[in-house]
Amino acid sequence: MAKKKKKVERYPVPSEAIGEVEEPPALSEALEEVEKSPAPSKRRPVEKKGKNGVMAKRAAMDTMALEVDAGAREIQGKAEEFADEMEDAAKEMEAGVADLQSAIQAQTKENEKAVAKLQAGAEAIQREMGDLQGEVKSYVRDFYYG
């Protein structure tokens, strides 16, 4: 049987030619078998034959692989749910911040108008006080010196 030469990226066995590797026949047959086998989540656990045998260990490893795969899918699903919830919360927060900013701006405008009215009122009161002071002085002057 002639040896096959392929370009393989995983676990290469060095050969004289650069970029090419030689695979032992058993390895290429095993790779073909693995490629043809169903995904780990679809594989049925192998029946146990003995408590410590190779088949029992393989069955345990297959079961563990199925459990890990299921756990990974569950984690991925929860992460996607969490990301969706965070995106919704961020949108709600942005809307709330925009509402708060517009309310603050409206209140600021109202406050500025109120301050302008108070200032105008205070100026009017000061003018009235000045006028009254002048009248009082002239009344006192007329009364005493009159």
* pLDDT tens, position by position, 7-29: 545 444 444 444 554 545 565 66
What are the pLDDT digits (tens) for 89-140? 999 999 999 999 999 999 999 999 999 999 999 999 999 999 999 998 888 8
| Confidence category of residue 36, pLDDT binned at 50, 70, 90 | low
20 vs 4: CA distance, rounded Å = 10
Nearest to 13 by CA among 2, 28, 32: 28
Nearest to 41 by CA among 65, 61, 60, 75: 65
Over the chain, what is the mean pLDDT?
78
Give the model's pLDDT for residue 17.
45
What DSSP element (H or E) covers 37?
none
13 vs 5: CA distance, rounded Å = 11
Is 0.85 surpassed by the pTM of this model?
Answer: no
